[in-house]
Chains A and B, each alone.
Chain A
Amino acid sequence: MSHIDKIDIAARKKVAEIFYKKFMELNEEISKEKPPKLEIPMRTFANTEFDISKGILKLGIKKIERNFLNMNESKKFMQTLLMASIIYQALVENEYPTIRDLYYRGKHTILYKDLNGRLKEENTWEEQSESDASIRDVEVMLGLLREDMLILSKEKGKVVGNMRIRSGNDVIDLSKLGHGAYAIESTPDLIEFLDYDAEMVLVVEKDAVFQQLHRAGFWQKYKALLVTGAGQPDRATRRFVRRLHDELKLPVYILTDSDPYGWYIYSVFKVGSIQLSYESERLATPKAKFLGVSMSDIFGYGTKKAYLSEEERRNFIIKAKDLDIKRAKELTRYSWFKSKLWKREIDMFMDKKAKLEIEAMASKGLKFLAFQYIPEKIQTNDWIE
């Protein structure tokens, strides 16, 4: 690192202190010859709660004790400590490891003697899935996200719009990136929002549609910050969207395919994922609105006219597969999909057994999508929350 910016250094110092404090406690327990244990909030569905007031998925209060003296937990205990020590070391030494780096840094061979006195070998971990699990343990144990710990992951999300940010020591104008876009960095909390001229955030599921809307000049015309998570959004994109909503008070609209998968992507932005519910507190945007494509957009409902003609429906609609039906049924179990509008949406899907890709709207004409469909829906509040 040629130079370290102030935000970065401050973040490191704060997080390193949290590590130090927590593990000195363990050190002291060991000095008193007490059985070493770590308290880790449970990361299971059973310990996942939907916080109605906040509208997000949260980890419950259940904690597990990871005891070194329990032979079923000894290895995980070691792995958690090992991971913590590597992350701590990287923090103090101003490094930005990726989760892959952490896997390699921690992977080494432990030597020991078995009961017959033979020298045996065992790796600290074999698969990256093991070291990733240790990262999650450290996250929940310390109440920190990997982004807080300056751990990098592959950048996936993108943003364009009338906005200037500071990333590291650079000021970046998100409106001056040509046909490209700003890749949302792994540590979105280190981004400083400088100024902006926008009235809403539009998140589109698909990168291709993002590019089309960008080239069509959508964000200029409607004063939008255009974001994509390119499919299932990564944590950085979700955190970035959350910050836009929280700090700039901008409404967030989400545009996905019209199918259970698209709904789930919306759900992840809105309430968080079940697997990673511990991060929802900081990643979820409970007020995010599902803009479309909705079933009523395709088929119409009541007085609402369908956006597609009979012939277009014949051409664009894809028959739902068994897996889609199964997913839809699963979604009805979650409380945030139990609202009246969502019930109507899912019922229609079950009834028609039809799904639609957002590209279908674009093939009706990019202008239709960018300048008619999206603005009209926003203006008429034709969205589901």
Chain B
Amino acid sequence: MSTEAEEKIKAQEKYREMSIAEFFAKNKELAGFSNPTRALYQTIRELVENSLDATDTHNILPEIRISLKELEPATEDKPAKYEVAVEDNGIGVPPNEIANAFGKVLYSSKYVIRQTRGMYGLGIKAAILYSQMTTGQPVFIVSSMDSSENIYYRKLLIDIKKNEPIIIEEGQLIKKNNWHGTKVYLTLEGDWTRAKPKVIEYIKRIALISPYAEIIFETPDNEIFYFPRVTKKIPKPPSEAKPHPHGIDIEQLKSMISFTKTKTLLEFMTEEFQSIGEVTAKKFLESIGLDPNMNPKSLIEKGNSKLLQTLSAGLRTYKGFRPPRSEYLSPIGEELIEVGLKRLFNPEWVKAITRQAKAYEGHPFIVEAGIAYGGNIIPSEEPVLLRYANKIPLLYEEREDVSYKVVSSINWKIYNIEEPMPLVVLVHVASTKIPYKGVGKESLSEVSELESEIKNAVQEIARSLRLYISKKNSEHILREKIVTISKYIPEIARSLSILSIHPDKWGSNGKNIDKDLIEKLIKIVSKSVEFPKIDGKEEDPEKVVRSVIANVKLEQ
């Protein structure tokens, strides 16, 4: 969900006094639940992303099991009914939080900026609501924290009018092993046949970007997709950050003021925002003409909206703040991107890059890109583009995406890449606020800072690729040269052996090929060729020469 959608939701709540859950239920397309196909895909996605957030973000190597079972086949007027079960080995949910975490929309304990896959777990509640609306079945949650001696389970529905969980069944079991994590069972209507390609593509892409995870997916067709863990390296989890003043809008500002425990505006500035010290805060407040000692709460009182607007505008435009800090971001890292691309495409060449952090409108972001070339990649007219935002694969609206704009405008010929090209381009954007284009969160806007970063990243790798290809080409030319010359070695040695017998010594035994001549010719040809170093390695010319004339019968 984008902030835009959230605001819409909040606005609706305000004006029509409709519960947020009710609004959700009536506008399910906003959360990606527009039809049975999309709903199935979206449900699996929300559960998997929740599971990843519960594991890798907490330095746990994820083990995620997804199972999809058909409970009732489709009829003429009803789609088929499925049970989705997703289990992880994550941190688990505290027992007293389970009901609210899964049964109350917009339930969140604190307001912080952090790079997470989803936002405030909204998506999972949408999935539960969709399940409830299409099948009437409760969601079943089993969870245990590492420290807990019990395993807790809850069966619950959401009271749509009140936006509150209705607990149908709850209980706990004594934990006999050291399992921790969460398993969620959902029953919903869906269309597996139609959703299948996207779901599988999604799982593959998740596996690509999280090569440190073990992922098992059982389909209703009794197929099993198994992605073993290929590395134990986990990216540094994102830490929570205070917001940067440039990235705060008036609604968020109001919300922050209402939550804050600070007593003065000066204190509010230094406590609630990142990188603002007393000196900067004083200078800033002075520049917009606000009293550092005033109570921040007074700004949200009626009649003070002018002052609030002054503060809001000042926060967004004041030049004296330090740039947003990027250590709160968690890029995947070059190594993991390369490992992931290698695993999925077995390419001839792969390279990834993590760019330095940049910022747009006060939001730090990091662009990462990877290119895989050749090998098992099926050549096509344009590169295969894999888009990720905060480690989530984006599968829809490709042509709307800023990455598509960048990648499709690159003239690959100047990088020695000919059509059709066996090329995969991966772009990952990590940010505390991803600039999604629409409510569907499937494509990124053409923010100029972002666009130029993506371009720089892709072009930087493309330049390495060009170097590789040109070395490869020159290596290939040299190899062909060796073949062209070496194939005549036996014939030349044979002819010269005959010519080196003096007429007086001409005998029946004298016409054997001189093996020394062959060896000398092999040496001469080998010495004449020097292969370029590719990735620090170079081919041994003599090996190539010998392979050309290997198994060639030398005797006449």
Residues in A lying within 8 Å of B, measured CB to CB: 13, 16-17, 19-20, 23-24, 26-27, 30-31, 33-36, 68-69, 71, 74-75, 77-78, 81-82, 84-85, 88-89, 91-93, 110-115, 117, 119-120, 122, 124
B318 at interface by CB-CB < 8 Å: no
* Proximity bits, B131-159, A CB within 8 Å = 1, else 0: 00000000000000000000000000000
Contact, CB under 8 Å: B548 / A113:
yes
Contact, CB under 8 Å: A110 / B506:
no
Q: Compute how far the CA of A84 lies from the CA of B494 in the bound complex, rounded to whole angstroms.
A: 12
How many Å from the CB of A140 to the closest CB on chain B?
17
- Nearest residue (CB) in A for B529 is A69
B303 at interface by CB-CB < 8 Å: no
Contact, CB under 8 Å: A23 / B485:
no
Q: Compute how far the CA of A165 lies from the CA of B523 in the bound complex, rounded to whole angstroms.
A: 55
B108 at interface by CB-CB < 8 Å: no
Binds A, one of B122-130, B186-194, B495-503: B495-503
Q: Compute how far the CA of A75 lies from the CA of B485 in the bound complex, rounded to whole angstroms.
A: 8
B263 at interface by CB-CB < 8 Å: no
A-B contact list, 6 entries, CB within 8 Å: A20-B500, A68-B485, A81-B491, A81-B499, A84-B499, A88-B499
- Residue B488 contacts which of A34, A92, A110, A113 (CB distance < 8 angstroms)? A110
A20 with B502: in contact, given A71-B484, A112-B549 (CB under 8 Å)?
yes
Which residues of the other chain, A, contact B490 by a CB distance below 8 angstroms?
Answer: 110
- Nearest residue (CB) in A for B487 is A112
Q: Compute how far the CA of A175 lies from the CA of B481 in the bound complex, rounded to whole angstroms.
A: 62
Q: Which of B513-549 contact A (CB under 8 A)?
A: 516-517, 520-521, 523-525, 527-528, 547-549
Q: Compute how far the CA of A84 lies from the CA of B521 in the bound complex, rounded to whole angstroms.
A: 19
Contact, CB under 8 Å: B484 / A74:
yes
A84 with B492: in contact, given A71-B485, A113-B548, A117-B547 (CB under 8 Å)?
no
Q: Compute how far the CA of A110 lies from the CA of B552 in the bound complex, rounded to whole angstroms.
A: 9
Contact, CB under 8 Å: A30 / B503:
no
* Proximity bits, B471-482, A CB within 8 Å = 1, else 0: 000001001110
Q: How large is the interface on B (under 10, 10 to 19, 20 to 34, 35 or more residues)?
A: 35 or more
- Nearest residue (CB) in A for B527 is A33
Which residues of the other chain, A, contact B517 by a CB distance below 8 angstroms?
Answer: 27, 30
- Nearest residue (CB) in A for B481 is A71
Contact, CB under 8 Å: A74 / B488:
yes
- Residue B495 contacts which of A71, A82, A113 (CB distance < 8 angstroms)? A82
B486 at interface by CB-CB < 8 Å: yes
B550 at interface by CB-CB < 8 Å: yes
Q: Compute how far the CA of A304 lies from the CA of B490 in the bound complex, rounded to whole angstroms.
A: 69
- Nearest residue (CB) in B for A34 is B524
Which residues of the other chain, B, contact A36 by a CB distance below 8 angstroms?
Answer: 492, 521, 524
Contact, CB under 8 Å: A33 / B523:
yes
Chain B interface secondary structure, helix, strand, loop or mixed?
A: helix
Contact, CB under 8 Å: A30 / B498:
no
Which residues of the other chain, B, contact A122 by a CB distance below 8 angstroms?
Answer: 487
Number of A-B contacts (CB under 8 A): 108
Contact, CB under 8 Å: A113 / B491:
no
How many Å from the CB of A359 to the closest CB on chain B?
50
Which residues of the other chain, A, contact B523 by a CB distance below 8 angstroms?
Answer: 33
Contact, CB under 8 Å: B495 / A110:
no
How many Å from the CB of B490 to the closest CB on chain A?
7
B483 at interface by CB-CB < 8 Å: yes
Which are the 7 A-B pairs with shortest beta-carbon distances? Answer: A112-B487, A23-B499, A85-B495, A78-B488, A81-B495, A85-B498, A71-B484
Contact, CB under 8 Å: A35 / B524:
yes
How many Å from the CB of B489 to the closest CB on chain A?
9
B551 at interface by CB-CB < 8 Å: yes
Q: Compute how far the CA of A19 lies from the CA of B498 in the bound complex, rounded to whole angstroms.
A: 11
- Nearest residue (CB) in B for A69 is B528
Q: Compute how far the CA of A23 lies from the CA of B496 in the bound complex, rounded to whole angstroms.
A: 7
Which residues of the other chain, A, contact B525 by a CB distance below 8 angstroms?
Answer: 69
- Nearest residue (CB) in B for A114 is B483
A75 with B498: in contact, given A35-B524, A115-B483 (CB under 8 Å)?
no
Which residues of the other chain, B, contact A115 by a CB distance below 8 angstroms?
Answer: 476, 479-480, 483
Which residues of the other chain, A, contact B552 by a CB distance below 8 angstroms?
Answer: 111-113
Q: Compute how far the CA of A142 lies from the CA of B553 in the bound complex, rounded to whole angstroms.
A: 31
| Given A85-B498, A93-B506, 17 new contacts (CB under 8 A) | A17-B503, A20-B502, A30-B496, A35-B528, A74-B484, A74-B488, A78-B491, A78-B495, A81-B492, A81-B495, A84-B495, A85-B494, A92-B503, A112-B548, A115-B480, A117-B547, A122-B487
Contact, CB under 8 Å: B503 / A13:
yes
